[in-house]
Structures are given as structure tokens and as C-alpha cells.
Structure 1
Amino acid sequence: MLGKIGTYLAVGLLKFLALLPYGLVARFGDGLGWLLYQIPSSRKRVVHTNLRLCFPEWDDAERERVAGRHFRHAVRSYVERSYQWFGSARTIEKLVVVDSEIDLEDPDLPPTILLGYHFVAIEAASVAINHALKRRCGSLYQPFSNRDLDRIASEARGRFNAEMVSKSDSARAVIRMLRNRQPVMLGADMDYGLRNSAFVPFFGVPACTLTSTARLAATAPAQIIVFVGEVLPHYKGYRLKVFKPWADYPSGDDVADARRMNAVLEDLVRTMPEQYYWVHKRFKTRPPGEPGFY
């Protein structure tokens, strides 16, 4: 756990890296990820466990290949926070290709929940979509336990006119923002525990999945638009993909809506399995009586 001095040294390093050419920093992160993958660790075991559960049809060689590439992507994503947190608007515009099926600058955009799935480029995608909207946008986040780092990260993430909202304070704030026609970004594909959740399949494995997204959409009411960040090959930056609004959502069945959310995510994961956030313990919470995986 970083102390105050360690926090400011780490942030200072990120600010320094933001001054260097992106390709150099990306290659450094890639190499560091390769090196760390050679060392046995609990996170490496989590990655292999998740891949074994979600892709039982893969042989050991395929799982090892994807796990190694993912670890490099994951470590790279932390190094590249240098640009995502401290890069200028011009830097973000140069690094992120925006591929949107909606007009992000539409002044008549209805109340909208921007649902971001946790691929390794979600940080870059969140900053880019907030910049592209050209309006104040709410952004839910999970606070860091380190208060100094949390404050610095919140300021960095909110520098393009984002209203940062801690998940612990989110429900009323989200409804207020949506009713004011202020878009809200949130992620709902991680294991946040049993509260406001249901067990629905994710690659055939019961996964503790939030049902609150559908209820927020119904209460506002608001449309759901998925966005995804992709790391481009050859150290060329990122692609922000924004999809059309979901039809017939919410359906009135929270469990069915959570199942739909996971099904959409599965389709996206299959297009770039090495870039989904497998270092997260997605199946940490188990149904009553089931043993843990980790």
C-alpha cells in the first residue's frame, strides 16, 4: 500500500511519462507486463482461473497465450494512465479514434446511461467520451483506499468537465443528473457483492451481476448506450466504440436485464479476449453453498 511519499513519487513518474512519446511509454508498459508475467503471483492465478472457467474449450497452450497477452495489456494500462490522467485534450484527440453510432455532440441527447465494460482501455475510453460529449457528464467510480491517490485520480479523470461520483453516493446523484439530461457513465460488469445483484450466467458461470442499472434506467427514465475502449495494435493508441441505444430496455425483469447485459459483454469479449479485465475476481461471490474459485 502506497504511503504519502510513495503516492507522490508514483504520480510524479506518471506525469513524467506523459511528456514522453506514447509509443515509447506503451512499449515500456508492454515489456514490464511481460516481465511481471514470468513471476508467479496471485493475479496471474486469477487470470488463469477466469480463462479456464470462461473458455473450457481452450487447451493449455491457448489459455497461456491469451493470459500472457492480457497480463501485458493490464500492466500497460496502468503505465498509460500517464496520458489518460495527465494528457492534454489535444493528446487525447490524437491517441483515440472515435467510432460512434450516435452523435455525441447532439444537444438533444435524451437522458443517457453510458455503460462502459471493463476492458483494459476503459480509462482512455471514459476520458475520451467525456471530452467528445462537449457537455458536463457524470462519472461513477470506485474510490481508491489511498485518499491522496483518490483525490489526484478524481481530479485527473474529471478535468474535461466530468462530475465524479463515488459509487457509495451514487443512486440519488445519478437520478438527479439523468433528470437534468446529464449523461452518466458507469460500469456494471464487476463483482460488487450481493447487494442489488443477482446470479446470472457469464460464459455459462453464475456471476454476481448488478441489477441496479435497469432500475436506474427505469426511474430516470434513461436510455442505455454501451461504449468500449480497444487498444489498437502496433502502439497506435485506442479506439472508442459507441453503440446505438438498447431497444426494449429495461424490460421490467431485472434478472433478465442483467442476463442481457452479460450476454452483450460476452459477444464483445470474444472479439478481443486478451483485452478484457481478467485480473479482476469476477466470480468472487458465489451462490450459497458453492465453493470459491480463487
Structure 2
Amino acid sequence: MLGRLGGRLGIALLKFLAILPYGFVARLGDGLGWLLYQIPSRRRRIVHINLKLCFPEWSDEKREDIAQKHFRHAIRSYVERSVQWFGSLKKLEKLVQVDSEVDLTDPDMPPTLLLGFHFVGIEAGSVFINRALRRQCGALYQPMKNQELDEIAKQARGRFGADMASRADSARVVLRWLKERKPVMLGADMDYGVRNSTFVPFFGIPTCTLTAVGRFAKVGHAQVLPFIGEVLPNYKGYRLKVFKPWDNYPSGDDDIDARRMNAFLEEQIPRIVEQYYWVHKRFKTRPEGEPSFY
């Protein structure tokens, strides 16, 4: 009962925030993130562990600065889902800059996997890329525990023409979408356990990494278009950055293909290091016999 009530109140708040000016909502989220960072928490600890693992050369002062900036971005991203889920199309078109190295409206686009990465702007990028494609696409999502909230989130994420499917149904559904030449959006840079994963380096650390992208690309004869949703400075909105398709991918070797994804991230993260999703336990699953980092 309390879970359903909390979910409804949360959605009502997001819908209310969606009608307010974006700059106000963004600053509200930023301030809330700053406030919550002052309170010792498990998530703050995870951020520091991740940054220390990936950037051991940093000073304590720099790590503290980036950790706080990231925490502010992370909390702000949840508040800004109000705009991303419920803001008008006109509002979103003013807020999202599309910077694509390919023609997203090309009617002859081959079977395509749109590979999103977990920067704090991924929600804005994932919602708006449906609009930028000007055609129906498919998208995988991780279901939420609250069923009512999950249904609303699914509708909001697919409101510009995305067909949504749970990760649990991914293999069968993705291959059908690719056969229909429907672009498919998915994210693979999180730790989902050892099933369908391999351990390859990420910032020099053996990291449990999904192999699904290479396998889907191989079986579906699909190109892979990486994209990143970036938060612009000074509360100006977002940039949807779409890169050229990866050459010579897939290679046919799961480890090489998984490493390709992590290497791409290692190139992109330093540009906007405070925006990568450091609050996630990216190194949760360890090779057999290794102790937990967390």
C-alpha cells in the first residue's frame, strides 16, 4: 500500500515539476544533490571507491571534487526525469541538441543497434533519440520493482515511437526487431552478473562486461551506433551525441568485442568524467576468488 502511494506521489511531483522552467528544476536537483552529498551514505562511498579504482593517480582533493560534482549530477538526473518523461515535445526540442555523425533519418539505414552508455544524461538521450530517428525503434529496459511506476516509466520512455521490451525477453525480441529493420536501443555497460558476460579490462581492472552487443550484431547483421546523452553546462539542457558505427565489429571474439566497448568508454569518460554513473557498483562481480571492492 505504502509503495503504491509513494509511487503515485512521486509521479505527481514529477508531473508538477515538468510544467516549471527547466532551469529552476535543474537547479533544484543540483541543490538537492549537494545537500545529500553532505550526509555520509553507501552511495557516496561507492562513488569514491569507483573513482579511486579508475583514477588512482588523482589527489584526494580532486577525487573529492569530482565525487561531489557527480553526486549532484546523479540526484539532479532523477529530478530532471520530470522534464524528460512529461515535458512537452516543444520543450524538449529546445533543450536537446542533436550532434550526430550519421543521418538518423536515413530510410535505408541498415539493421542498427543504438548503444547507449550510463552517463547521467542517458535518460534524456534515450527518450529523444526516438524522436530524432523519425521512425519506430525498439528499446530494452530494466523493469522497476514498483509495477505502477514501471508502467508509467515505460510509457514515458517510449512516447516518441519506441517499442519497449524487458531485458528478460531481450534475445528473442531484439532479433525480431532487427529482422524488421527496426533500430534497437540498449545499454550494456553495467554489471548484470556473470551470465552472458566476460571479464575484460576497464581502466585496467578486470570487469564483468556483457557480451550481448557483439552477439546481437553478429546474428542480426547489425551495425553498432554508440550514443551518449550529455548534460550541457550552465543549465542549458542536453546534447545527444551519436557516433559513427564501429568498424570491424563484431570481431567474432566475445572478449575482443566486450573490450571494444570498455575502450570506447575509457576514451569518452575523461571528457565529462563527473557525468559517468559512478554511483553504480560497476565492479560488483569479481573473478572467482577475488574479494569485493565494496
The residue number in structure 1 matching 2:80 is 80
Pair 1:4-2:1 in alignment: no
Kept after mapping to 2: 8 A contact 1:89/1:131? no
Kept after mapping to 2: 8 A contact 1:226/1:245? yes
TM-score, normalised to structure 1, is 0.99
Secondary structure in structure 2 of the residue aligned to 1:227: strand
Pair 1:231-2:231 in alignment: yes
Distance 1:114 1:258 in 2: 16
The residue number in structure 2 matching 1:202 is 202
* Deviation of 1:292 (Å): 0.1
TM-score, normalised to structure 2, is 0.99
The residue number in structure 2 matching 1:19 is 19
The residue number in structure 2 matching 1:178 is 178
Secondary structure in structure 2 of the residue aligned to 1:272: helix
Letter paired with 2:197: S
Q: Which runs of 5+ in 1 are unaligned?
A: none
Counterparts of 1:72-111 in structure 2, within 5 Å, are 72-111=72-111
Distance 1:92 1:133 in 2: 15
Identity of aligned residues (%): 69
Distance 1:118 1:151 in 2: 21
Kept after mapping to 1: 8 A contact 2:128/2:160? no
Distance 1:178 1:125 in 2: 21
Distance 1:212 1:86 in 2: 31
The residue number in structure 1 matching 2:158 is 158
Kept after mapping to 1: 8 A contact 2:34/2:71? yes
Letter paired with 2:64: E
Kept after mapping to 2: 8 A contact 1:138/1:163? yes
Distance 1:92 1:217 in 2: 31
Distance 2:254 2:7 in 1: 40
Kept after mapping to 1: 8 A contact 2:202/2:266? yes
* Deviation of 1:137 (Å): 0.6
RMSD: 0.9
Distance 1:162 1:90 in 2: 18
Secondary structure in structure 2 of the residue aligned to 1:285: coil
In the comparison of the two structures, how many residue pairs are matched?
Answer: 294
Secondary structure in structure 2 of the residue aligned to 1:63: helix
**Structure 1 runs of 4+ off > 2 angstroms?**
none
Distance 2:165 2:92 in 1: 22
Counterparts of 1:53-64 in structure 2, within 5 Å, are 53-64=53-64
Task: Please list the CA deviations of residues 234-284 of structure 1 after superposition, one character each: whole Å capped at 9, or x if unmatched.
Answer: 000000000011110000111011001100011110111100000000000
* Deviation of 1:212 (Å): 1.2
The residue number in structure 2 matching 1:141 is 141
Distance 1:141 1:2 in 2: 25
Q: Which runs of 5+ in 2 are unaligned?
A: none
Secondary structure in structure 2 of the residue aligned to 1:56: coil
* Deviation of 1:2 (Å): 6.2
